Amino acid sequence: MKNLTGAKIVIESLIQENVKVIFGYPGGAVLPIYDELFKQKKIRHILVRHEQAAVHAAEGYARSTGKVGVVLVTSGPGATNTVTGLTDAMMDSVPVVCLSGQVPTHMIGNDAFQEADIVGITRPCTKHNYLVKDVTKLAGAIHSAFFIAKNGRPGPVLVDIPKDIQTFKAIYKGKRLTKKISYYKPSLEPAVDDIDKMTKFLSDSKKPIFYIGGGVINSGSKASVELFKLMKKTGFPCTQTLMGLGAFPMSDKQFLGMLGMHGTYEANMAMYNCDLMICVGARFDDRITGKVSGFSPNSKKIHLDIDASSFNKSVNVDLTVKGDLFKILKLVNDKISKTNITFKNSKYTKWWNQIDKWRARNCLKYKQSKKLIKPQYALQRLNSLTKDLNPFITTEVGQHQMWAAQFIEFNKPKHWMTSGGLGTMGYGLPAALGVQIAHPKDLVIDVAGEASILMNIQEMSTIKQYRLPVKVFILNNNYMGMVRQWQELLHGNRLSESYMESLPDFVKLAESFGATGLRVEKPGDVDDAVKEMINIKGAVICDVVVDPNENCFPMIPSGSTHNQMLLGPNDKVEGEISEEGMVLV
Amino acid sequence: MNEKNTKHILSIMVDNEPGVLARVVGLFSGRGYNIESLSVSEVDSHKFLSRVTIVTSGTKLIVDQIKAQLGKLIPVHNLVDISELDSFIGKELILVKLNVKNKKKPDLKEKLKKFGAVILLESNHEFIVQYAGTPEEITKLVKLLKNTKIIEQTRSGLVSMATGTDYIKK
């Protein structure tokens, strides 16, 4: 039994949780913890340049490894700067533990220097949070934070530690949870009844589709293996959400492409026309459903999820199966094997023929140009030239993100990091650095837009400090492309504030941070630039000047249904967008 | 989707710790749910547990979502939708301060006694009346007093429990 200061207890608890890396930024209210960090060698601290980036980096680290990402920041502005990151982690179910310093307990509530009620502020954007006012409860709070962050549906947890608590002493008794947490046991085992019902639904259907989400990735690679088995047993088609890409290999013929607002024609049409939809760890988000009242009107729906609050939230389903996806999928596979249920190809021939007709529309086609680089072309070349290296891809938010989802192929889980739920511009660069820290030898590429990249561009400095070979692939179209696209389609082409004036010279910017800058302007030069980028050992910013007017298709306009897609620039929105549709985001 | 709104009484057992009420109330305001009444107090001083009773309303879809969201809060131990059980009791408490002239006192005392209300305090011109009953009974009492000058009144939220063996676990 060791009598330790609070600061030492923090370090000791992190070591017990097997934490190797933390992302942080020091300040007055966490100095005792930074002092303890200085005295030890087990935990590596990565100094970011802004606390929001610390959380995104921790998210990238967590999503590419399956471990908990850890953040350390000071009180007040240090803590409030993490709010966007924490909300992002909350929306995308990423396990993150954020430790924040706080003014000493006797000054809380006095509007002290660098005081913010961060527990109050982050209550709705964390899975749980703690304010530790008693040093004997510090270790319990930290261990409970890790437990909560990774168990059940993962999410961010914040632990706020006043400065005096960091200096008081207590006995550290090892990895113990707080007493109160002992009843928090998210149930992982599905009901056997539900498994039986589900297999019956599967064998009864004629036009089935699997709709796969990020929950499969969160459940671990074993879940992907079971999913693959089930896909092969049934031979059913599947689609994946933005968060789910890579849970099932995208190169497989059973994969119809991503679904939703910028999903493929075949995926959305199959969702609309199916007679059975099996939702595996997705949540019927509004980007997926379009107009809810017209969403897949004639299908039975099964929903598998670990979180009961995801059931019947926006879409009513016929069967819910609650539990860990790996366990559910394994039980279903076992049941199918035991009962010798077969899924004869002939039963689904008609369905597959229909799907092939939709596929033949080749909805991702675009007009190639000899003069201008099409963003789709740049990404297709990036994909072809890097796929053997099995790269980790992160993105910012906007058109480039949707094109990356459409044109880059992920055949393994945990290689695709993007801000799905919150849609945080500025996510990609810090996330990429977090991924690179976790996978120092692998190729990590941030597919970015010239607008998004500027939101956390300061992280180039972090990348320089730790000599991280992160590649930034900017599709530079001089616009906030997605904003401009909506203004074109829905607001009479009045391009209000969406033109990116006064952009930096990205080549010089890269050089000023000790990285290599490349600029490509002609389609013929794309291949060489990509090859050069991946051959350079250090960080690279590759500024790809693309067609400024290209729009992202297919697109389901707001307030429309899956069968009302726009497939290209020549498709017009039918009639006026309804008032109901106009107010949707 | 055009389902009817129905009223629900949710009884929630929570850790009595700082911020727990903010978590519950914040969930309702943040997600746009109704709170018609709220009452909370510690019920177990050894285990530090409080019992929260919330009266809310919504479609089945919404109420199920409220329950699932509440169930996700870490300090929530247990939750029962009392209004879905076979039989339950729900009571509120009201205190009313009345301005009463001396000559009217005997008549009013008689009326209140008959109704089951208790006069807690009687001074020259004032009665303070206490009554516990269902929300409907309390409305009746207020009606009964319509010809009396009510100086002020305060009502608690509903507290409720099921009859028989359907009790909330800790």
Q: Is A51 a catalytic residue?
A: yes
Tokens representing residue B157 in the block: 């939220």
pLDDT band at A568 (very low <50, low <70, confident <90, very high): confident
* Rounded average pLDDT over A509-515: 98
DSSP state of B19: T
Nearest CB partner across the interface for A123, out of B1, B26, B69: B26
Q: For a pLDDT cut of 70, what percent of chain A falls above it?
A: 99
- Tell me the C-alpha distance between A249 and A87, whole Å: 29
Q: Please tell me which residue, A568 or A399, carries the higher pLDDT value.
A: A399
Q: Find the helix packing angle between B135-144 and B105-115, rounded to 10°.
A: 160
User: What is each CA distance from A195 to A187, A225, A320, A346, in whole angstroms?
Assistant: 16, 18, 10, 25
For strand B37-44 and strand B6-15, is the pairing parallel, antiparallel, or unpaired? unpaired
User: What is each CA distance from A565 to A67, A71, A266, A555, B137, in whole angstroms?
Assistant: 39, 42, 11, 6, 57
- B102 in A contact zone (CB under 8 Å): no
Q: Is A580 a catalytic residue?
A: no
Q: Find the helix packing angle between B60-72 and B20-30, rounded to 10°.
A: 150
Question: What is the pLDDT, as a whole number, of residue A576?
Answer: 62
- Tell me the C-alpha distance between A505 and A154, whole Å: 40
Q: For a pLDDT cut of 70, what percent of chain B falls above it?
A: 99
Q: Is a pLDDT exceeding 90 seen at residue A340?
A: no
pLDDT band at A582 (very low <50, low <70, confident <90, very high): confident
Helix (H) or strand (E) holding A435: helix A428-438
Q: Is A284 a catalytic residue?
A: no
A127 contacts on B by Cβ (under 8 Å)? 74
Question: What is the pLDDT, as a whole number, of residue B124?
Answer: 87
Q: Which domains does chain B have, with CATH numbers?
A: 6-84 (3.30.70.260), 89-159 (3.30.70.1150)
Do B71 and A131 make contact, defined as CB atoms within 8 angstroms? no
* Rounded average pLDDT over A346-374: 96
Asked if residue A426 lies in contact with residue A458, where contact means CB atoms within 8 angstroms, the answer is no
Q: Is a pLDDT exceeding 60 seen at residue B1?
A: no
Question: What is the pLDDT, as a whole number, of residue B72?
Answer: 94
Do B19 and A120 make contact, defined as CB atoms within 8 angstroms? yes
Q: Is a pLDDT exceeding 60 seen at residue A84?
A: yes
Q: Is A482 a catalytic residue?
A: yes
Write the pLDDT tens digit of every residue in B6-16. 999 999 999 99
A120 contacts on B by Cβ (under 8 Å)? 19, 22
Neighbours of A491 (CB within 10 A): 13
Q: Which residues contact B137 (CB under 8 A, 6 or more apart)?
A: B131
Write the pLDDT tens digit of every residue in B102-150. 999 999 999 999 999 999 999 988 999 999 999 999 999 999 999 999 9
How many residues are listed for chain A in this entry? Answer: 585
Q: Which amino acid is at B30?
A: G
Question: What is the pLDDT, as a whole number, of residue A182?
Answer: 63
Do A123 and B61 make contact, defined as CB atoms within 8 angstroms? no
Q: Which residues contact A440 (CB under 8 A, 6 or more apart)?
A: A468
- Tell me the C-alpha distance between A205 and B73, whole Å: 37
Helix (H) or strand (E) holding A91: helix A83-91
Nearest CB partner across the interface for B64, out of A181, A307, A312: A312
Give domain limits for chain A.
2-183, 192-348, 375-545
pTM of the full predicted structure? Answer: 0.96
* Rounded average pLDDT over A300-316: 96
Give the residue carrying structure tokens 């002609």.
A522
Question: What is the pLDDT, as a whole number, of residue B25?
Answer: 97
- A184 in B contact zone (CB under 8 Å): yes
- B26 in A contact zone (CB under 8 Å): yes
- A181 in B contact zone (CB under 8 Å): yes
Q: For a pLDDT cut of 90, what percent of chain A falls above it?
A: 92
Angle (CA) A350-A353-A359 rounded to 5° is 145
Out of A127, A163, A327, A330, which one is annotated catalytic? A163
Q: Is A513 a catalytic residue?
A: no
Question: What is the pLDDT, as a whole number, of residue A330?
Answer: 98
- Tell me the C-alpha distance between A382 and A390, whole Å: 12
Do B68 and A309 make contact, defined as CB atoms within 8 angstroms? yes
Nearest CB partner across the interface for A180, out of B15, B27, B68: B15
Q: What's the 3-state SS for A297-310?
A: CCCEEEEEECCHHH
- Tell me the C-alpha distance between B89 and A37, whole Å: 57
Nearest CB partner across the interface for A312, out of B17, B61, B69: B61
Q: For a pLDDT cut of 90, what percent of chain B falls above it?
A: 89
Question: What is the pLDDT, as a whole number, of residue A523?
Answer: 98
* Average pLDDT of chain A, as a whole number: 96
Write the pLDDT tens digit of every residue in A101-142. 999 999 999 999 999 999 999 999 999 999 999 999 999 999
Write the pLDDT tens digit of every residue in B6-49. 999 999 999 999 999 999 999 999 999 999 999 999 999 999 99
Q: Is a pLDDT exceeding 90 seen at residue A329?
A: yes
- Tell me the C-alpha distance between A363 and A345, whole Å: 26
Q: Looking at A80-89, A198-207, A501-510, B99-108, which range is the least confident one? A: B99-108
B14 contacts on A by Cβ (under 8 Å)? none
Per DSSP, the three-state class of A394 is strand
Do B74 and A313 make contact, defined as CB atoms within 8 angstroms? no
Do B15 and A124 make contact, defined as CB atoms within 8 angstroms? no
Q: Is a pLDDT exceeding 90 seen at residue A569?
A: no
- Tell me the C-alpha distance between A241 and A250, whole Å: 12
To the question of domain A375-545 being in CATH 3.40.50.970, the answer is: yes
Whole-number CA gyration radius for chain A: 24
Fold type of domain A192-348: Rossmann fold (3.40.50)
Shared fold status for A2-183 and A375-545: yes
Out of A113, A232, A313, A367, which one is annotated catalytic? A113
Do A148 and B74 make contact, defined as CB atoms within 8 angstroms? yes
Asked if residue A378 lies in contact with residue A526, where contact means CB atoms within 8 angstroms, the answer is yes
- Tell me the C-alpha distance between A309 and A152, whole Å: 12
pLDDT band at A574 (very low <50, low <70, confident <90, very high): low
A309: closest chain B residue by CA: B68
- B130 in A contact zone (CB under 8 Å): no
Asked if residue A208 lies in contact with residue A236, where contact means CB atoms within 8 angstroms, the answer is yes
> How many CA atoms are closer than 13 Å to the CA of B163, on its beta-carbon side?
5
pLDDT band at A413 (very low <50, low <70, confident <90, very high): very high
Q: Is a pLDDT exceeding 80 seen at residue A580?
A: no
A128: closest chain B residue by CA: B74
Do B15 and A308 make contact, defined as CB atoms within 8 angstroms? no
Right CATH for A2-183 from 3.40.50.970, 3.30.70.260, 3.30.210.10, 3.40.630.30:
3.40.50.970
Q: Is a pLDDT exceeding 80 seen at residue A585?
A: no
Do A309 and B71 make contact, defined as CB atoms within 8 angstroms? yes
Burial B34-58 (b: 16+ CB within 10 A, else e): eeebbbbeeeeeeeebbbbbbbbeb
